[in-house]
Structure 1
Amino acid sequence: MTHSDLDVARRLADAARAAILPHFRQATTLADNKLDTGFDPVTVADRAAEEAMRAVLAELRPEDGILGEEFAPTPGTSGRTWVLDPIDGTRGFISGTPTWGVLIALSEAAGPILGVIDQPYIGERFEGTRDHAQVVGPQGTQALLTRTTQSLDEAILFTTFPEVGTPEDRARFEQVARQVKLTRYGMDCYAYALLAAGTVDLVIEAGLKAYDIQAPIAVIEAAGGLVTDWEGNPAHEGGRALAAANPQIHGAALAALKQS
């Protein structure tokens, strides 16, 4: 039986859900720290979910490469790579908030062509390909479509960490935050999902890895938005990201980020 790329992505998300949910909001689920200085948590759920997804790919897409957060990259022969973040937002996961998610992207040399942002506890799955943009959740299946907000003073802005990144990153972020209608923090990948769903206008972050941003790029672009770095260049390798609902609000935010 031949499985489409989207079907494979859905099977990956199903496998990750099954591996993660038994550990969510459980007092026995402990976090290890990846860092000697600072705090970058990882749990048994992170590792189990990536292992489960890798097992699906070994069966259905053995020719494709894999780039995941928790294990070494797996080379492929097809020129395509599955980019996996088993739990984006592990800090939220261990705190019990339902704003973490499973990120799945299928990427070619020029960037991602398919993305899934899956929130297992809520039961929402945001999907994006070149001809498909939908969310399936408690309210049924709905098309994804970004907002048409034109000016910063009407925009809703999200980022995960109040410090954003370096002191320079923070200063540049604040140049945008001072001009928008509302700024919110701490949503991890769920902020990108909300942008694709048409409730948020901007997400601005720094210090990202490829597995943090590739799925959001595909979902947001499928819904009509765009994602670049803070200079307007491709962002699929990580670093600084500016996700926007439409070209007009993107241009306004980009101009504000570049102000000295």
Structure 2
Amino acid sequence: MAIASPAGFDVAALRTQVLATYDRVARDPTGEFHFHRGPRYAADYLHYDADELASLPAQCTACFAGVGNPLRIGPIHPGETVLDHACGAGMDLLLAARRVGPAGHAFGVDMTPAMREVASSAAAEAGLGAIVTIRAGLFEQLPINDESVDVVISNGVVNLAPDKSRVFAEIHRVLRPGGRLYMADVVVQRELKNEVRSNPDLWAACIAGALPEPELAEIAQAFGFRGPRITERFDCFRDTTAQAKVAGDLHVQAVNFLAFK
């Protein structure tokens, strides 16, 4: 299974490269990257509501670099507690915060300081500061209490984890019994060769760390999740440099994925 990076893989170097990439996105989202960004991409490729995105602070939508649309997977109810375990600039987080309303709360965790700054500023500008909390942290070590969250949302980040077992274990830990995982991520249709999985550039491109599609449900079930299923698919690499180089050949796509604790 592709749950962990290959033996000898330089995990520290990968984290440094990922951090640098998303720091650049936060500071200059119009720069050159191997992946799509921004509200037009989110609306045209991933079926976000364009009017809803236009109502958010432009700084957080410009930096959006997700691969799917976790908010289409299922409802988020007023009064619930939601966690975006790698929230980036906060677009999904703020959309979730609007759904939980003043009786709920939305937590965002991210390892990139520049992204956290954008998310915090956007939450304040959107009038959601009272119900949004941004924390520094890693999705392998979430600064969130046990069984305190109703919904975990995730968008395009689990593929970046060198050890996905820790990520799934942490999601399961923080969810309340009956809680839901709304996850969008990249999958491949066949096992990747070791030379691909050992390439840090392809990891940072959200390709080398992608799980083979059948393994996604298997891993979720292994960590105690019930009813795992794919609900939607997205061609998130269409017209990108990543597709031109390798994504097309490796049959890479993104999926929306639902599971219950």
Larger strand proportion of the pair: 1
Give the alignment's TM-score, normalised by structure 2: 0.29
Higher normalized helix content (fraction of residues)? 2
Structure with greater Cα Rg:
1
TM-score, length-scaled by structure 1: 0.29
